[in-house]
Every structure is written in structure tokens, then in C-alpha cells.
């Protein structure tokens, strides 16, 4: 029980920073949809999908590998840290330079003629992210949650500051004649450019601090460490690629797969902006999963030697499903007022109906993260390659087949389809090689009921906003009551005992 509470406490710390920081970042969707065109939103959606995909390539599973070798291989943590960070710096120089030099060709291929600078900035952003990955992982391993969380929040605040300055502040100052047109080379026709520049400035400024707090490393490659680490991490690379293939490729490919004039009055890139903006509304589920992952990954590895760890993993999974299904219903039933509040320009609300599906997709991603512990702690990461390869194939196939038919929903279905199949395969193989006593039947029951209630609440409409609000949110109370009824014994076990 103490281990379970420890995980919950660490998740709360990471969650507070993640939810606070990303909620601030999430609010930028208001600024973007207010001040940028749908075409700029489309560019933002596709380029940041590319960044998310390439982030996996630049780090190639080394965060998880660092946790595994620093905790369960009887190796010196300092040597593991030095070798991992040194290896990442070398690979980042190679990959970053290659992307930087190929920027003109990439711009032409992705239909951004004359904008190679966008992809040069992308290369620099990816390089900054990669060389920060292991120092951040070391802070997590050492349970320095407050330093980790504080730095992440500061980084986001810097990003927001530069965004507001460049997208809102400068145009206002120029319009009032406070600063001249073209001040410091400012261009009023730029949109996604200033989002990228803000990201680059914010990431670059925190590098010295993070390296200092994590402990400066010695540039040294230990051959006896690097070789097995490399073998462990490469399958994780493919697992990560499949994950972002589903999460991000639907947004990246959407504008290239959608037939012309599919949505009246919108170009394919503008429709991609609508799709990406509605995707952002599902980010609240992703915040919880990210916070959980920050705390759970090092925790799972540390507990792996305990004979009762399978039971603990099962309890964690069940609690995760209960919490996230309540969250899914809460967001879904309130989309009628949340959507217009965050998506400021007319037209974005056309994609709101895909949000419950995206929420379930993110929830399945979190379940897959829980399930994947079996091949990480048994050093069977080769299985991740095959599981994620199937997921990637399903993602791409669903996008190519269903986006031209169903548009926004076709893109959303790629999310839920991929993660469902990956969860199923991972569960079946995991129970064969490392049995964990999951409450499978109950978990499936909660997923089905919560998903049905999410769409029921989304479509309920009694013609009165006040009545709608109370009746829609009564579904949350109904579902929570069901959980209390079915889980009362477990809930009592977690409550403090009175003397």
C-alpha cells in the first residue's frame, strides 16, 4: 500500500506541473485560433506532428534504457549517465545536421516552397529536446520531482511569453505606432514561424540550468555499457515510432489525404487546422497520461524485484482506468461550452464530435503504457517492435482508407484502432511471459460504459443550456456512483483507518 501511495504522490507532483504547465500551453489554442488563420493552424498542426515524430528518432528509446540500466543492471549510475548522454550528443549532431542541410528539399516535398527556414528551426528544436532528455530522466530517477516540475513549468512560461510577444504584442505595438513596422525584422505575415521561434528560444535558454541540476557529465563512451544499451533501446525506438505514428501522423497526413473540396469553403490545409485544433481539446487526457508516465516508469523499474510487484502493477492499472474514464466523461459531456470557449473562430466546432473518440484513444495509449511493463522489465523489448509495427500499419491504413470517406472521424478512428490492437496484442503476450493479475473483465466493462456515456452526454440536447449542463453532468455522478458501488471494498482499503 505504501508503494501505491508513493506512486500516487509522485504522480500528483508531476501531474501538478504537467497539468498546470500544459494547461497554460493549452490556453494558447485560444490565441492561435483568434489571431492566426486556419491555414496557419494547418501548418502548425502538420509541422508539430513532424516534430513529435522526429523526437522519437532523435532520442531512440534512451530514456527508458537509461532507467533500466541505471536501476537493474548493477552498473554505476554515473557511468550509465555519462555514456547515455555522450551517445545522444553524437547522434543529435549527426541527425540535426542532416535535417538542417536537407531543409530545402523537405520544404518543397511538404509543399512549403521558399520556407526552408521552418525546417532548419525544426532541426534546432529537435536537437535541444534530445540533449535535454537524459538530464531530465536523471532528475526523475533521483526523485527530484520539484526541480523537474519547476523547470518544465518555467520552460512553458518562457514559450508562452515569446508567443504572446510575437503573435499579439508586436502587432499591437506596431498598430499603435509605439514601434515601427519591421522592428527587429518583424514580419506581420508570419504565423507558424513565431510559434517555432518561441519554442526554440524557450528550449535553448533552459539547457544550462537543466545540465547543472542533473549534474554535469563527462563525455565518455563505455563500450561495455553502450553495446547492451543499444540492443535494448532500438526496439523501443520502433515502439515509440508506432506510438507517434498514430498520435501524430493522423494530423501530419490529414491534409495530404483529404480529397479537395471535401469540406465546403475549406482547403485541405485549413481542414487540417480544424482537425488539429479539435485534437488539442483531447490533450487533457494526454496530460494525465504524461504525468503518470513520468512517475510510473522509474517506479515500475524500482519495484520490479519485489515478489508482489505483479499485484501492484494490476492495482495501478485498475486505478488508472477508473480515473481516466471519469475524466473522459467529464470532458465529453461539457464540449458544448468548452469547444467554443477554446476554439475562437467560427468553423472549428464542426470537428467537436471526434473529441470523445480521441479521448478514448489517449486512454488506450495509457493502458498500453501500463501493459508494456512486462517486456521492459524482462528485457524482451524485441516484442515491442512487432507490436508497434502492427500498430503503425493499422494507423496508416485507417488514415488512407477512411479519411477520404469520413474526413475528421476517419483521422480520429486511426487513433483508437491502433491503440486498441496494440493493447490486445501486448496483453495476450504479456500474460504468457509475465503474468499480471489484471481485473480484465471489470476494466473492459468500465471502458465500454464510459465511452457510451461520453457520446450520450455529447449529443444530449434539451434546447436549454442550463438544463443541458445539469443533465449532461449528471452522467458523471451516475458513473461515479457505479464505481463506488462496484469498488467499495477497494475504496475502503485506501481510506485512512480511524483509531
Identify the band that residue 1 occupies on the pLDDT scale cut at 50, 70 and 90: very low
Q: Is the pLDDT of residue 312 over 70?
A: yes
Q: Whole-angstrom Cα distance, residue 51 to residue 234?
A: 19
Grid cell at residue 391: 500498430
- Dist. CA 490–CA 323, nearest whole Å: 14
For the residues 378-392, what does the mean pLDDT come to? 79
Lowest model confidence (mean pLDDT) among 143-147, 238-242, 317-321: 238-242
- Which percentage of the chain shows pLDDT scores above 70? 89
Q: Are residues 238 and 103 in contact, defined by beta-carbon separation less than 8 angstroms? A: no
**Side-chain-facing half-sphere of 325: CA atoms under 13 Å:** 26
Q: Is the pLDDT of residue 495 over 60?
A: no
Given a cut of 90, whether residue 476 has pLDDT beyond it is yes
Q: What is the mean pLDDT of residues 313-326?
A: 92
Per mean pLDDT, which range of 13-22, 232-241, 388-397, 456-465 is the poorest? 13-22
Domain ranges of the chain: 2-494
Q: Best-predicted range by mean pLDDT among 26-40, 233-247, 371-385, 477-491?
A: 477-491
Sign of CA dihedral 316, 317, 323, 324: positive
Give this prediction's pTM: 0.69
pLDDT for position 26: 66
| pLDDT per residue as tens digits for the range 129-179 | 999 999 988 888 887 878 887 888 888 889 989 999 888 888 888 888 888
> For residues 256 and 316, what is the distance between their CA atoms, to the nearest angstrom?
40
Checking if the pLDDT of 330 tops 90, the result is yes
pLDDT at 7 (0 to 100): 56
Looking at residue 169, the DSSP 8-state letter turns out to be I
Q: State the pLDDT confidence band at 99, using cuts at 50, 70 and 90.
A: very high
Q: Tell me: pLDDT of 2 over 60.
A: no
pLDDT digit string, tens, across residues 409-456? 999 999 899 899 999 999 999 998 888 999 999 999 999 999 999 999
Whether the per-residue pLDDT at 72 is higher than 70: the answer is no
Rounded mean pLDDT, 313-331: 93
User: What does the mean pLDDT of the chain come to?
Assistant: 84
Q: According to the model, what pLDDT value does residue 22 have?
A: 59
For the cut 70, the answer to whether the pLDDT of residue 498 exceeds it is no
Query: In the prediction, which pLDDT does 77 show?
Result: 79
Q: Identify the H or E element spanning 151.
A: helix 145-163
Q: How confident is the model at residue 92 (pLDDT cuts 50, 70, 90)?
A: very high
Amino acid at each position: 500500500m505504501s508503494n501505491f501511495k508513493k506512486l500516487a504522490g509522485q504522480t500528483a507532483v508531476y501531474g501538478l506541473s504537467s497539468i498546470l504547465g500544459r494547461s497554460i500551453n493549452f490556453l494558447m489554442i485560444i490565441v492561435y485560433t483568434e489571431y492566426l488563420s486556419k491555414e496557419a493552424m494547418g501548418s502548425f498542426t502538420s509541422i508539430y506532428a513532424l516534430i513529435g515524430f522526429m523526437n522519437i528518432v532523435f532520442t531512440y528509446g534512451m530514456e527508458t534504457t537509461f532507467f533500466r540500466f541505471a536501476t537493474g543492471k548493477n552498473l554505476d549510475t554515473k557511468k550509465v549517465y555519462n555514456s547515455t548522454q555522450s551517445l545522444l550528443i553524437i547522434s543529435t549532431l549527426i541527425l540535426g545536421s542532416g535535417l538542417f542541410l536537407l531543409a530545402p528539399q523537405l520544404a518543397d516535398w511538404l509543399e512549403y516552397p521558399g520556407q526552408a527556414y521552418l525546417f532548419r528551426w525544426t532541426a534546432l528544436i529537435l536537437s535541444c529536446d534530445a540533449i535535454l532528455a537524459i538530464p531530465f530522466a536523471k532528475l526523475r530517477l533521483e526523485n527530484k520531482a520539484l526541480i523537474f516540475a519547476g523547470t518544465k513549468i518555467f520552460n512553458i512560461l518562457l514559450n508562452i511569453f515569446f508567443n504572446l510577444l510575437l503573435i499579439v504584442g508586436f502587432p499591437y505595438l506596431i498598430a499603435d505606432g509605439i514601434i515601427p513596422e519591421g522592428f527587429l525584422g518583424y514580419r506581420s505575415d508570419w504565423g507558424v514561424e513565431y510559434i517555432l521561434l518561441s519554442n526554440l528560444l524557450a528550449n535553448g535558454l533552459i539547457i544550462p540550468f537543466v545540465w547543472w541540476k542533473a549534474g554535469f557529465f563527462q563525455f565518455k563512451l563505455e563500450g561495455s555499457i553502450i553495446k547492451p544499451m543499444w540492443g535494448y533501446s532500438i526496439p523501443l525506438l520502433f515502439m515509440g515510432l508506432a506510438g507517434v505514428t498514430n498520435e501524430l501522423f493522423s494530423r501530419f497526413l490529414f491534409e495530404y489525404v483529404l480529397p479537395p473540396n471535401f469540406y465546403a469553403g475549406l482547403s485541405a490545409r485549413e481542414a487540417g487546422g480544424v482537425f488539429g485544433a479539435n485534437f488539442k481539446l483531447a490533450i487533457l487526457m494526454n496530460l494525465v497520461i504524461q504525468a503518470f508516465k513520468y512517475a510510473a516508469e522509474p517506479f515500475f523499474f524500482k519495484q520490479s524485484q519485489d515478489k508482489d510487484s505483479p499485484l501492484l502493477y494490476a492495482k495501478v492499472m485498475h486505478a488508472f482506468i477508473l480515473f481516466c474514464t471519469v475524466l473522459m466523461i467529464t470532458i465529453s459531456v461539457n464540449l458544448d461550452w468548452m469547444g467554443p470557449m477554446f476554439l475562437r473562430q467560427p468553423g472549428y466546432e464542426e470537428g467537436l464530435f471526434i473529441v470523445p473518440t480521441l479521448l478514448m484513444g489517449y486512454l488506450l495509449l495509457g493502458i498500453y503504457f501500463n501493459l508494456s511493463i512486462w517486456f521492459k522489465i524482462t528485457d524482451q523489448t524485441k516484442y515491442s517492435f512487432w507490436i508497434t509495427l502492427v500498430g503503425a500499419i493499422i494507423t496508416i491504413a485507417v488514415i488512407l482508407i477512411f479519411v477520404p470517406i469520413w474526413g475528421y472521424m476517419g483521422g480520429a478512428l486511426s487513433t483508437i484502432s491502433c491503440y486498441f490492437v496494440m493493447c490486445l496484442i501486448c496483453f495476450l503476450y504479456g500474460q504468457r511471459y509475465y503474468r499480471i493479475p489484471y481485473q480484465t473483465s471489470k476494466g473492459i466493462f468500465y471502458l465500454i460504459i464510459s465511452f457510451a456515456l461520453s457520446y450520450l452526454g455529447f449529443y444530449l440536447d434539451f434546447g436549454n443550456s442550463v438544463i443541458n449542463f445539469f443533465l449532461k453532468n449528471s452522467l458523471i455522478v451516475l458513473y461515479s456512483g457505479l464505481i463506488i458501488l462496484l469498488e467499495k471494498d477497494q475504496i475502503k482499503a485506501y481510506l485512512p483507518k480511524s483509531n
